Structure 1
Amino acid sequence: MEATQSGCLFLLLLVTCKLSPEVATEVQESTDGPSDSQEPVWLTDVPAAMEFITAAEVAVIGFFQDLEIPAVSIFRSVVQNFQDVSFGMSTDSEVLAHYNVTGNAISLFRLVDNKQLDLKSEDLENIDATKLSLFIGTNNLHLVTEYNPVTVVGLFNSIIEIHLLLMINKASSEYKESMHRYQEAAKLFQGKVLFILVDSGVKKNGKVISFFKLKESQLPAFAIYHTLDDEWDTLPITEVIVEHVRNFCDGFLKGKRLKENPESEEKTPKVEL
């Protein structure tokens, strides 16, 4: 998704979490708590690094020429906070060169859009645990990413222009099976469609739902959205079926709509959340 698109839903409607102290607190609350101890995996050569990145939906690697800099201990300290992220470290010159690292860097790699995001030497000079946690938390996009004020920044910065939102109450009895099928469908559109979960049981998500002219009585539902031109379509459902997801996404990608283009209707005023 291009950050310059001022008409984008996630910019005008959803992005109000400008890495403020409140967002930092949300990152901290979402990652704090008891967890099994884990350490970064040492990556001693290029094949090991490539295999490590390929095997993870999200991987964060510390590329360090100097293990004595403060960023190394800060990097180690945040590893415990992200159980769904794979952490690695390397000091091998060939590994650093392979990933275009000069000096020291911390890089995040994500499978969903094959993107590498870097904090380079100049960024690491004033890094602390909160800033590093924000960097990881906001860019922690998976095959299915739950929408919240933290992940919305990464969603906005994704290069994928088509977003599919599943709006469902996580407290519902059908949620677990629905998510399993939704994740299976996401694999079919990797790199083409960004799959997002919106918990309709969260009150502050109500404006996301109303933007697509949906009511609570119509949920669960899909909403598919093109970030560059604000075109979208919706599909109320009774259950998530992989084939239905495939058909809905394929149809939208081919320019088919279930209803009239919402651009032809009076637009819903966009307000900040």
Structure 2
Amino acid sequence: MFLKLLFLCALIVTSGRSALIAEEEGVLVLKKSNFDEALRAHPNLLVEFYAPWCGHCKALAPEYARAAGVLKAERSGFRLGKVDASAETELAKEHGVEGYPTIKLFRGGGKKSSPREYSYGRRAEDILEWIRRRSGLSVDALTEVVQAERMIADNEVAVVGFFRDARSDRAAAFAEAAEAADDDVAFGMTSEDALYSRFQMTEDGVVLFKKFDEGRSAFDGRGELSSAAALLAFVKANRFPLVVTLNDGPTDAPPKALREFKDHVLLFASGTAPDFQDKVAAFRKAAEVFRGRILFVLMDVDVETNQHIMEFMGLEKERCPTLRLLNLEVEAKVTQFKPDDDETIITTESIVHFCTLYVQGKLEPHFKSQEVPDDWDKNPVRVLVGKNFKEVALDPTKSVFVKMYAPWCGYCKRLAPVWEQLGERYKDRQDVVVAKMDVTANAAEHVHVHSFPALKLFPAGDGGKVIDYTGERTLEGFVRFLESGGREEEEEEEEDARDEL
């Protein structure tokens, strides 16, 4: 009788405008079972996909809750929610979550609305500022010359649409592009003769004003002025310098620009070399060929902060000048490409040739690797590097459980004794291998690491299948996981779902 009454109450609750969604400190607790309902009930919903063990997520939690409390108290129309992506794996996969935390803004009250990824700061103030900017109009109406000049002067990048008819399809496409564009870019629109005259516009068009390179870029796709996608592509291609410079001071483009472009070609060269400026000039000229498709980045190897990037890529200063091309198509995964010969002379022609081979799909990925230690298999925990990873981890006759770690990571250091115990436990098993790999010095095609330590099982006979371990980091938990072939967590998820029903 109690169950029937409980079921009837559930029907009454869900038959109204929205189902009752649990909250923690003002943050909506979202799951696959209530996610769509939350989107319908809250047309402006910022959602954090997190993992309980993620250090970045733990640091963000109090700031996120503080921002949620402010928004709820203001009745602003915006709410904050969170999804435990380690438990709601299907929901996280559906929304393209690869790393933690991933934060997305859902607008429009339904799944069909395209979520906008949040990439600002991690303080409550940053979150609130970003949301408040999104609640306003995306395009400023420019009616006076001084107003337009002020907007251009106050912004690194400003885009102005000149449309005689503010209700035209062209103006609507411009507004749509502004809504979807990055918040670092200011958008304005005008139909005033004085502004046409001031900026030498004789017909409708779009101009991007910037404080670098040539200072001004005009949209030349006149026939595509009614295409928001074409306008967005124009803004993306021109909102950054031809060559982005990374150094100790402010960069020529914000760091998130490096994530907006999926393909980056990097020139590593010494700023004190006598031919440095010649190399930069050749690099810049090649950048013109691939503008909007590949981001060109200059790395001065004499700058101390760039040493970390070189270390990450397995590159030594003595091998410079040289080129590297990075692809970030998959979040939290960097695929690296290099010329066949690191000694290639850096000229415009050689750079264009290298990038052309990449665009044509004729380059094989390059994976950094240490040398295979002579004693890599002499201890209970095997040592993997890039050069022996495929042979060992993808052996179809064995289940291989790998700890992906960074030497400096505190969590990795605390886990080390338990991992040694696990290796000792399985040292005599022929079908199970316990291993570790330093991913700051090694990479492999089947490895995507977004936090440390990453624990991954490559089960026997599954042809490269990877199962991420997200359970308790204890010897008993690891043993249960291995003995079940990685299926234990899936069974627990099914049991939790049955309990909810």
TM-score, normalised to structure 2, is 0.31
Counterpart contact for 1:65–1:91, Cα < 8 Å:
no
Relative to structure 1, is the Cα distance of residues 199 and 96 closer, same or farther in structure 2, using a 3 angstrom cutoff? farther
Which residue number corresponds to residue 354 of structure 2? 248
Which residue number corresponds to residue 219 of structure 1? 320
Counterpart contact for 2:163–2:171, Cα < 8 Å:
no
Which residue number corresponds to residue 445 of structure 2? none
Which residue number corresponds to residue 78 of structure 1? 154
Which residue number corresponds to residue 54 of structure 2? none
Residue 208 in structure 1 maps to residue 309 in structure 2:
yes
Which residue number corresponds to residue 114 of structure 1? 233
Once residues 365 and 160 of structure 2 are traced to their aligned partners in structure 1, the CA distance between those partners, rounded to angstroms, is 50
Which residue number corresponds to residue 162 of structure 1? 263
- Deviation (angstroms), 1:196: 1.3
Once residues 167 and 256 of structure 2 are traced to their aligned partners in structure 1, the CA distance between those partners, rounded to angstroms, is 27
Which residue number corresponds to residue 244 of structure 2? 145
Instruction: Identify the match of residue 337 of structure 2 among 216, 233, 239.
Output: 233
Counterpart contact for 1:169–1:199, Cα < 8 Å:
yes
Counterpart amino acid of residue 350 in structure 2 = H
Relative to structure 1, is the Cα distance of residues 228 and 94 closer, same or farther in structure 2, using a 3 angstrom cutoff? same
Once residues 155 and 249 of structure 1 are traced to their aligned partners in structure 2, the CA distance between those partners, rounded to angstroms, is 17
Which residue number corresponds to residue 268 of structure 1? 440
- Deviation (angstroms), 1:65: 4.0
- Deviation (angstroms), 1:191: 3.5
Residue 173 in structure 1 maps to residue 277 in structure 2:
no
Relative to structure 1, is the Cα distance of residues 207 and 73 closer, same or farther in structure 2, using a 3 angstrom cutoff? same
What secondary structure sits across from 1:114 in the alignment?
Answer: helix
Deviation by residue 1:224-256 (Cα, 9 ceiling, x = unmatched): 011125221234346421222122223333444
Counterpart contact for 1:64–1:89, Cα < 8 Å:
no
- Deviation (angstroms), 1:153: 1.2
Relative to structure 1, is the Cα distance of residues 89 and 190 closer, same or farther in structure 2, using a 3 angstrom cutoff? closer
Which residue number corresponds to residue 56 of structure 1? none
Counterpart amino acid of residue 242 in structure 1 = T
Counterpart amino acid of residue 208 in structure 1 = I
- Deviation (angstroms), 1:184: 1.6
Counterpart contact for 1:140–1:151, Cα < 8 Å:
no
Once residues 242 and 96 of structure 1 are traced to their aligned partners in structure 2, the CA distance between those partners, rounded to angstroms, is 45
Larger Rg, first or second structure (1 or 2)? 2
Counterpart amino acid of residue 234 in structure 1 = K
How many residues are treated as equivalent by the alignment?
191
Instruction: Identify the match of residue 295 of structure 2 among 159, 175, 194.
Output: 194
Once residues 97 and 351 of structure 2 are traced to their aligned partners in structure 1, the CA distance between those partners, rounded to angstroms, is 27
Counterpart contact for 2:338–2:366, Cα < 8 Å:
no
Relative to structure 1, is the Cα distance of residues 142 and 96 closer, same or farther in structure 2, using a 3 angstrom cutoff? farther
Counterpart contact for 2:335–2:366, Cα < 8 Å:
no
What secondary structure sits across from 2:318 in the alignment?
Answer: helix
Once residues 243 and 167 of structure 2 are traced to their aligned partners in structure 1, the CA distance between those partners, rounded to angstroms, is 30
What secondary structure sits across from 2:281 in the alignment?
Answer: helix
Counterpart contact for 1:63–1:89, Cα < 8 Å:
no
What secondary structure sits across from 2:151 in the alignment?
Answer: helix
Once residues 349 and 321 of structure 2 are traced to their aligned partners in structure 1, the CA distance between those partners, rounded to angstroms, is 17
Once residues 364 and 154 of structure 2 are traced to their aligned partners in structure 1, the CA distance between those partners, rounded to angstroms, is 45
Once residues 194 and 228 of structure 1 are traced to their aligned partners in structure 2, the CA distance between those partners, rounded to angstroms, is 13
Percentage of identical aligned residues: 16
Counterpart contact for 1:63–1:90, Cα < 8 Å:
no
- Deviation (angstroms), 1:206: 1.3
- Deviation (angstroms), 1:170: 2.7
| Gapped regions of structure 2 (runs ≥ 5) | 1-94, 100-118, 124-138, 179-185, 188-206, 209-216, 220-231, 370-384, 387-436, 442-448, 452-501
Instruction: Identify the match of residue 284 of structure 2 among 149, 159, 183.
Output: 183
- Deviation (angstroms), 1:222: 0.8
Once residues 159 and 364 of structure 2 are traced to their aligned partners in structure 1, the CA distance between those partners, rounded to angstroms, is 45
Instruction: Identify the match of residue 141 of structure 2 among 61, 64, 73.
Output: 64
- Deviation (angstroms), 1:91: 6.8
Counterpart amino acid of residue 268 in structure 1 = T
What RMSD over aligned residues (CA atoms) do the two structures have, in Å? 4.4
Counterpart amino acid of residue 289 in structure 2 = L
TM-score, normalised to structure 1, is 0.52
- Deviation (angstroms), 1:64: 2.6
Counterpart amino acid of residue 192 in structure 1 = R
Counterpart contact for 2:314–2:368, Cα < 8 Å:
no
Relative to structure 1, is the Cα distance of residues 241 and 68 closer, same or farther in structure 2, using a 3 angstrom cutoff? closer
Which residue number corresponds to residue 133 of structure 1? none
Once residues 220 and 164 of structure 1 are traced to their aligned partners in structure 2, the CA distance between those partners, rounded to angstroms, is 13
